Amino acid sequence: MLRRPEGATVAQIAEATGWAQHTVRGFFAGLKKKGHAVEVKSRERMVGPNKTGAKGSFTIYALAE
């Protein structure tokens, strides 16, 4: 999923693997520690009058070439 040109969100990876979202983020930290570059493709911040905090916000990640 991270090798796809469009990348993947934490939620997509968690659903595909059955992992919790915090486990996916920990996996990203482990990849970085081992020297793999995980880049942020885009961030969508959805905050407005009917949204509280960062609910609905997401980040798309991909492995750097």
DSSP 46-65: --STT--TTTT-EEEEEE--
- pLDDT exceeds 70 at position 11: yes
Mean pLDDT score, 5-24: 92
In degrees, rounded to 5, the angle at the alpha carbon of residue 38 between the alpha carbons of residues 57 and 18 is 65
Question: Which token pair is 30?
Answer: 């482990």
Which DSSP string corresponds to 17-53?
HT--HHHHHHHHHHHHHTT--EEEEEEE---STT--T
Condensed to tens digits (0 to 9), the pLDDT of residues 19-61 reads 999 999 999 999 989 999 888 888 776 666 666 555 667 787 8
Measured distance CA(57)–CA(45) in Å, rounded: 5
